[in-house]
Chains A and B, each alone.
Chain A
Amino acid sequence: MKNFTISFLGRDCPGVVAAVSRTIGESGCNITQLSQTILSGEFAAIYIVQAPDSLDPEALRRALAVALEAEHMDMSVLVRPATDSAWGEGEVCQPFVVTADGPDHPGEIAAMSRVFARHNVNIESLKAVLGEGGSNHALFVFEVMVPDRVDLGRLRRELIKEGGMHNLRVGVQHRDIFEAMHRIGSV
C-alpha cells in the first residue's frame, strides 16, 4: 500500500463529499485523514488515502474528475504521492497564537508571514476576520508552531515592528491560554 494526497477546490454544493468518497472507495482506497472547509461558497478539502500499489495517481485523479463531472460539480482535483515526513518532525515546538488587527490593506499577511518565515516558524492555521471592529477592520489570527530554539522575544519584537508599519496591533500569546479560558480539558 502507498499513500496519496488528494486536494479538491471548487464551488460548494450538497453531494460533493458523497461523490468524492464513493469514488475513492471504488478505487480501492481507504481514507486515513481529511480536512475540509468552506469559504464564501468555495469548497476546499484535502484527503490522505491509502491506495493499492497497482493504482497510480493520475488514474485516481481521472476517476475522481469523471465522477464529479457526472454529478455536474465544478471541482478541480489534484492527486500526488503523500510525503513521508511532516515539517518540524524532531523539532521541539510550542504553539503560539499571533493576532494582528487594524485597518485592512493589501500586503499585511505577506508582511507578517515574512517574519515567520525568517524565523523558521510554521503557520498551521490562518484566519482573517473582516469587519468585526468596523467596516475596514481586519483581524488576522495566525496559529503557529515556534521551535524552542527561536528567540521568542526577538520574534515578538519583529512581529510588533512589522505590524506597526502597517498600523496593525500585534499580540503574541501561548495557545494554552486560549484553551484554558474557553475549553474544559481532560483531567
Chain B
Amino acid sequence: MLSEREVISTLNMLRTEHLDVRTVTLGVSLFDCVSHDIELFIANVKDKILRHAAQLVRVCDEVGDKYGIPVVNKRISVSPIAVVAAPFGPAGMVRVCRALDDCAKEAGVDFLGGFSALVEKGFANGDRALIEALPEALTTTDRICSSINVASSRSGINMDAVALMGEQILKVAEASADRGGIGCAKLVVFANIPQDVPFAAGAYLGVGEPDVVINVGVSGPGVVKKAIDRALGAGVNAKGQPLTLLDIAEVIKRTAYKVTRVGEMIGTEVAHRLNLPFGVADLSLAPTPAVGDSVGEIFQSVGLSSIGAPGTTAVLAMLNDAVKKGGAFASSSVGGLSGAFIPVSEDSSIEAAATSGLLSLEKLEAMTSVCSVGLDMIAIPGDTSATTIAGIIADEMAIGMINHKTTAVRIIPVPGKGVGEEVSFGGLLGKAAIIPVPRGDASDFIRLGGRIPAPIHSLKN
C-alpha cells in the first residue's frame, strides 16, 4: 500500500509544480543513408526517419497517459548532417534541411536536431557547406535546429570557426529579421558538445551512438523550488536542527532523484514499446516561460533578492551539483547536459532580472562556468559586430575548454533593435529585453584566426 504522503506529494508535483517529461527524443543515425546522389540521399533519410518515428508521438502519449505524467515534447535527433551530407554544397545542404523539416512535420515532432557540424579542429568540405547554408536553411524551415561544435578540451578552440560563426549568426538574424531574428534561437555554438543531448536546440546523434535510440530529457525546476520552499517553511531539518544550505542541497538532490526516476521509467517504456534501446536520461532543470516553472525562482527561494544578486554563482553551483548527484543515483544511464539551464528568454524570472539590469551578460558568463550549458537565449542589439559576437563565443568556449565541460552560446542579435527594447519569440522561446554586450573591440584578436591550442590537462593518455 502507498502512504498518503507518497500519493499527495506526487499529485502536488503534477498539478502545481509542473512535473513532466520535457522531451523524449528519438535518435536516428543517418550514416547508412549516405549517397553522392542528393535525390537518393534525401529519399533514404526520409524513409529511415519516418520508418522509426511513425509511432513515436502515439507511443509517448500512451505511456504518458499510463503514468499520468505528460511527455511535453517529442523530438528527433540525427547524425551530424555536415558529415553524412558531406558531398553536397550549400544549396544541397538547404535542400537536406528542408527534407528534414518535412520529416519533422510528418512525424509530428516539434524539433529535429542535427543540422550540425563538428569543427573544433578544422573544417571539412561538408562543414563549410553546412555553415554557409545556415541563414537560408534555418529561415526557410520551421523545426530544424543546428549546433556547431567549435571547441573541445582535447582539441582547443577553432578560432576560424568562432570568427565565422560570429558572421553567420548575424546573417541568420538578418534572414529572419521579420521575426526578431528567431533563426538564431535554433542555432547553438558549442564547446564539448555531448553526443546524446535530447534537448533542443543542441540535440544531435553522435557518431558513437546506436543506430536508433531513445533519449529522454527530464525537467522540474518548479518541483525543486517547491521542495526548497517546503523545507524552508518548516525551518528545521529531519533531526529538528535549524536548516542550513547543506540541508537545502540534500532537498535538491532528493528531488532530482524523484524527477529522474520518472523520466527514466517513461523513457525505458517508450523504448521498449518501440523495440528500441534506451540511451540516456538527461536530468537538466529546463525552465519554460510559465510562472512556477522557472530556474530563476529557485534563487529567490534560497534567499537572494533575484537571480543576478551577489551569491548567484554560488547558488547555481550548488544547484547544478545537487541535481547531478540526485540524478546519478536515480539512473545508471545519465547523459546529455544534465544540470541547470539558464535560458534568459525562456525563463520568466531570469528574463525579468535581465530586463531590470540585475543580470548582465558578464554575470551570465560567470554563471556558465558552474552550470551545464552557457549563454542561452540572450537578445543583444542587432548592430552588434560579428567580431564582438565572436569574442563572446571565444570567451564562452574557453570556459568550456579549460573546465572540461560543455558550454554553448545561443545568442540573438535582434535586427533593428537596441538595448532596452523587447523581442518576443512566442511559445516556449519566450520574450526578452535586449541587453548590452561588453564594451571594447575584439576585432584584431578575432582576425588573427587559427586555433587556441588545447590546455595542458588535455594530455591525459
A interface residues (Cβ-Cβ under 8 A, vs B): 97, 99, 101, 125, 127, 129, 132, 139, 141, 143, 152-153, 156, 171-178, 180-183
Q: Is the CB of A177 within 8 A of B4?
A: no
Q: Is the CB of A181 within 8 A of B68?
A: no
- Decide yes or no whether B34 CB sits under 8 A from chain A: no
B interface residues (Cβ-Cβ under 8 A, vs A): 1-2, 4, 6-11, 14, 65-69, 258, 261-262, 264-265
- Given the interface pairs A99-B7, A173-B67, A174-B67, the reply to whether A181 lies near B258 with Cβ below 8 Å is yes
Q: Is the CB of B2 within 8 A of A178?
A: yes
Q: Is the CB of A177 within 8 A of B262?
A: yes
- C-alpha gap A175/B9 in the complex (Å): 14
Q: Is the CB of B265 within 8 A of A176?
A: yes
Choose among B11, B258, B265 the residue that contacts A171 (Cβ–Cβ < 8 A). B11
- Least CB distance, B281 to chain A, in whole angstroms: 12
- C-alpha gap A97/B66 in the complex (Å): 10
Q: Which residue in chain A gives the minimum CB-CB distance to B257?
A: A181
- Given the interface pairs A97-B2, A174-B67, A175-B2, the reply to whether A141 lies near B7 with Cβ below 8 Å is yes
Choose among B7, B65, B66, B264 the residue that contacts A178 (Cβ–Cβ < 8 A). B7
- Given the interface pairs A174-B66, A181-B258, A181-B262, the reply to whether A139 lies near B8 with Cβ below 8 Å is yes
Q: List 28 A-B contacts (CB under 8 A).
A: A99-B11, A127-B4, A139-B7, A139-B11, A141-B2, A141-B4, A143-B1, A152-B66, A156-B65, A171-B14, A173-B68, A173-B69, A175-B2, A176-B67, A177-B10, A177-B67, A177-B265, A178-B6, A178-B10, A180-B264, A180-B265, A181-B6, A181-B9, A182-B2, A182-B6, A182-B10, A182-B258, A183-B6
Q: Which residue in chain A gives the minimum CB-CB distance to B14?
A: A171
State the 4 A-B residue pairs at the shortest beta-carbon distance, nearest first.
A173-B68, A177-B67, A180-B261, A181-B258
- C-alpha gap A183/B10 in the complex (Å): 12
Instruction: Tell me which residues across on chain A come within 8 A of B6, comparing CB atoms.
Output: 178, 181-183
Q: Which residue in chain A gives the minimum CB-CB distance to B68?
A: A173
Q: Is the CB of A143 within 8 A of B2?
A: yes
Instruction: Tell me which residues across on chain B come within 8 A of A99, comparing CB atoms.
Output: 7, 11
- C-alpha gap A182/B4 in the complex (Å): 12
- Given the interface pairs A127-B4, A141-B4, A141-B7, the reply to whether A177 lies near B68 with Cβ below 8 Å is yes
Q: Which residue in chain A gives the minimum CB-CB distance to B67?
A: A177
Instruction: Tell me which residues across on chain B come within 8 A of A97, comparing CB atoms.
Output: 2, 7
- C-alpha gap A149/B47 in the complex (Å): 35
Q: Which residue in chain B gives the minimum CB-CB distance to A37?
A: B1
- C-alpha gap A89/B425 in the complex (Å): 57
Choose among A139, A143, A172 the residue that contacts B68 (Cβ–Cβ < 8 A). A172
Which of A129, A141, A183 is packed against the most chain B CB atoms within 10 Å? A141
Choose among A125, A143, A181 the residue that contacts B10 (Cβ–Cβ < 8 A). A181
- C-alpha gap A125/B1 in the complex (Å): 7
- C-alpha gap A24/B193 in the complex (Å): 69
Instruction: Tell me which residues across on chain B come within 8 A of A153, comparing CB atoms.
Output: 65
Choose among A129, A172, A180 the residue that contacts B262 (Cβ–Cβ < 8 A). A180
Instruction: Tell me which residues across on chain A come within 8 A of B68, comparing CB atoms.
Output: 171-174, 177
Instruction: Tell me which residues across on chain B come within 8 A of A175, comparing CB atoms.
Output: 2
- Least CB distance, B126 to chain A, in whole angstroms: 43
Instruction: Tell me which residues across on chain B come within 8 A of A125, comparing CB atoms.
Output: 1-2
Which of B14, B65, B68, B264 is packed against the most chain A CB atoms within 10 Å? B68
Instruction: Tell me which residues across on chain B come within 8 A of A177, comparing CB atoms.
Output: 10, 67-69, 262, 265
- C-alpha gap A172/B265 in the complex (Å): 17
14 more A-B residue pairs beyond the given contacts A129-B4, A171-B68, with a C-beta to C-beta distance below 8 A? A99-B7, A139-B11, A171-B14, A172-B68, A173-B66, A173-B69, A177-B10, A177-B67, A177-B265, A181-B9, A181-B10, A181-B258, A182-B2, A183-B6
- C-alpha gap A182/B2 in the complex (Å): 10
Instruction: Tell me which residues across on chain A come within 8 A of B65, comparing CB atoms.
Output: 152-153, 156
- Least CB distance, B36 to chain A, in whole angstroms: 48
Instruction: Tell me which residues across on chain B come within 8 A of A174, comparing CB atoms.
Output: 66-68
- C-alpha gap A172/B66 in the complex (Å): 8
- Least CB distance, A7 to chain B, in whole angstroms: 18
Instruction: Tell me which residues across on chain A come within 8 A of B10, comparing CB atoms.
Output: 173, 177-178, 181-182
